[in-house]
A and B are shown apart, each in its own frame.
Chain A
Amino acid sequence: MNWIAPGRGGPPGSSLPALLLPLLLLSPQAGAGRKAGPPRPRRKAPLLIRVGKAYLGTGKVLEPAAILVARGKILAIGKHLPLPKGAKVLDLSGLTAAPGLVDPWAATFLAPSDRRTPHDPAGPTSSGLVRIRPSQARDLLLAGVTALCVTPPGKDGLGPRLAAAALDPSGTPRPILALSGLSLRFSQAGPKDPLAPLRIYKALKKAFEKARDYKEKRDKAQKEEKEFQKKWKEYLAALRKLRPRKKALGKKAPSSRPKASKPSGPKAASRPASGPGRKKTATRPSARKGKVPPRPKRPAPFRIDPAQEVLAAALERKIPVRIEAHTSLEVKKALQLAWEFELRAVLVEPWEVDPEDLDRAARMGITVLYGPLDRAAPGYGEPGFRQDILATFEKAGVPVALGTRGFLSPRFLRDQAALARAMGLSPGGAFRAVTLYAARASGIEALAGSLEKGKRADILFFAGDPADPALPPRRVMLGGKFLPKEVRL
């Protein structure tokens, strides 16, 4: 079942259950074993959690720390917070708090056939949380993974779009951002075809130029529509002014006169303002006299293209654009593309990089993303492979994020962070690679990835160092709710 991909072709009628399922899961009656009856009132009292130490995920460490949580979000965080009226207090002074882990490159919920081979058709509209295995999801939750970016594989050129999902306490993934990013890919056939990066760059540039034209036309159409709405309101207001005078004269308003309702919504938009489908309104005497402005003409409706919308969102910097580029030439072309179109770029697995591109990437605010360090790298460990590439990027000021890419279960995310540290990443950088920077690469930096005001209350509590993968989280809070204590972690 496809929850979130409106462009993905499915059987007619599949969209209704797709829309209803999350609602059913979220409804108060959905809890297993709960007796039928009036829905419980939602607890609104904030919760103040006191912990011995908190790694915020931004590089800051508070010792001790207090976290105020309400309605699934972090309301405030600090060393000492005043107790709000009606708030409950939970003392976890012996534990260390850390943000929930984010897997920015997960294939966990994709159908097995979709994990390796590109979607059919692969393109900006293909995406999806296709198949769900709740037991596996629960296992991820117990390992501290609270959000994922579901990344279908793509072919060279324009790839699929990305969707971000959070896990709910039952272990079911729930989309939090249906469009969280766009995936692009330079060549996988690097050694075979050395000119492939240039060719793909040209094709991508053309696609973005087309999207820029589309965006300009769409913006113009939106502006015209706005102006029409404004004029329509003025027109209606002018008609209303005429009405009392006509009543006083004892005349009935003509039936063809437009009603004083807002012409909004898809039906209104598709209704032709004039033409064969609509009865032509006779020119009223008052209009003839010049007291009523002429009826405004509706602009031609603009046809929304879902694929172009994704690219337009990338051009507006609303979503990050992941560009898979491995060789130094591919990295160069990827950076050029990002610079030309001012994209929020995330470079995926750059195994080679020229020093000048390194500085350029740092200046452009690029993030780099790697798959499992022990599995994914092509030519890993070969003489040319630079084991210190992660540390090189970090030293240049480029944030490094880590994902599992479907090669591993996301429950090994902390092991990967530890391995990154062993490969030269700083301890803080390795931790942020699976929290804040992972959220940034997933397009959900504003929602998750760190313990900051306004973000989701996805918090892990450890009885020690959160960076030690041998230490499981003692307790897991998800969207402001603790997982049951009796669950074996």
Chain B
Amino acid sequence: MRRNTLFWISSLLGALPALPAPAQDVLVLRAGKILVAPGKVLPRGTMVVREGKVFALGRDLATPAGAKELDFPTAVVVPGWVDSWTQATSAGETQELSTAWTPEIRAADALDLESPLWERFARWGVTSVVVTPDPAQVGGGLACLVKTGRKARLVEKALFLQFSLTSRARNRERPPTSLAGQVALIRRNFRKAPKEGPLARALSGKLPALFACRTPAEVQAALRLAAEFHLPKVLLEAPQACRPLPSLLEGSGVGLILTPPGKEAPPWSLGIPAALAGKGLPFAFASACPSYPPVELRLLPAPARRRGLDPVRALAAVTVTPARLLDLSWRIGSLRLGRDADFLVLDGPPAHPGSRILSVFVEGRPVWTAPAGAAKESPK
């Protein structure tokens, strides 16, 4: 009897560090549907969020005493959207006019985390934003990740190293002034890369390398460079209005970030995402803010769906796929166990741009809620 008592006491003492966090940090959310990841739906589901992470998922989970509980009986809970290529709040501040080679520049150093722009991202369901340096330098610098909301937070300082092959990086005041010159500059610096630093990490595959391109010639140049230096992790940023993208990228193993096709988008440009999906090529949508406003991310999937893109792929292109391309699927892009509790509550189908956003949560905390009159359904 005595031994038994000692056993129970010691078990309890051993279990103390694993005891649930204070009840204030626990949120229990019940919803009509929980979209754990695109294509994976949990009907009438319950999600327990603890310390900003998804702690449990199930049908009828009990609510711990003192935990905050939210109930959206007919709403859909969707993973927070990821905007994978922007220069939000830092445009111009990462532009170095004197030199074309600045791999050590960090977009994180030029951020304005107090800007109201982050709240605008949150209002449209974007919970994670990738901020890159301005593509005005050939060897552009390091991109970072920001979690949105009124109190925006920098969570990753070095996501990938950006190189720009766009005409924006050609400057009459300094070399290079041509695409061939840009490629030559990258090649020269790759060959004499130091053993440490972002360039070495990109060459060894520890850090993805992203090439910003606009034209088919620039895309081909990027692919040639990737093959020549055996770059293990390569991303490509290109607008939708780049026609040969599906054929050029087939079999290349390169991840693609698609930016808006522009005002004069030719009709065929809307069919590019469906063509990429048809070839099994991974792609993510991005708003290219500040060229376009944060809401653009919400408007990109529907026209692509009109041209045959599967709704699951369309939703994946703003959630799971960007997370995977950025090596962040352990943290964002889905609501699987252990991931950040970044989600939005919608009153309709997740891929329908007309579905109203009722609430947006970042790491379990509400960052935006629809005005009371506008919301059809308020949390009980």
Interface residues in chain A, defined as those with a beta carbon under 8 Å from any beta carbon in chain B: 135-136, 139, 143, 373-375, 380-383, 387-388, 391, 395, 407-409, 411-412, 415, 417-419, 421-422, 424, 427, 430, 467-472
Contacts and interface: CB of A to CB of B under 8 A. Distances in A.
A381 B120 contact: yes
B354 A407 contact: no
Contact of B354 (A383, A411, A418): A418
Given A381-B116, A419-B354, A422-B353, A469 B263 contact: no
Contact of A388 (B263, B293, B294, B371): B371
B306 A472 contact: yes
8 contacts: A374-B293, A375-B293, A388-B374, A409-B263, A412-B303, A419-B295, A470-B305, A470-B306
B184 interface: no
Interface in B115-138: 116-117, 120, 123
Contacts of A381: 116-117, 120, 293-294
Contacts of A471: 306
Contact of B263 (A136, A407, A415, A418): A407
B373 interface: yes
A387 B353 contact: no
A37 B245 CA distance: 48
Interface size class of B (residues with CB under 8 A): 20 to 34
B356 A380 contact: no
A281 B151 CA distance: 94
Given A388-B374, A470-B352, 12 more contacts: A374-B292, A375-B293, A415-B302, A421-B356, A422-B356, A424-B356, A424-B371, A427-B354, A469-B353, A470-B302, A470-B314, A471-B306
A412 B306 CA distance: 11
Nearest to A411: B267
B311 interface: yes
Contacts of A388: 371, 373-374
Given A468-B354, A470-B352, A419 B298 contact: yes
B351 interface: yes
Interface in B295-313: 295-296, 298-299, 301-303, 305-306, 311
A386 to B, nearest CB: 10
B123 to A, nearest CB: 7
Contacts, number: 82
Contacts of B117: 381
Interface in B338-359: 351-357
Nearest to A381: B120
Nearest to A406: B263
A471 B62 CA distance: 40
A20 B266 CA distance: 31
Nearest to A417: B354
A374 B263 contact: no
Q: Which 9 A-B pairs have the closest CB atoms?
A: A470-B305, A418-B354, A421-B354, A418-B353, A424-B374, A381-B120, A469-B302, A139-B267, A374-B295
Given A139-B267, A422-B353, A468-B352, A380 B293 contact: yes
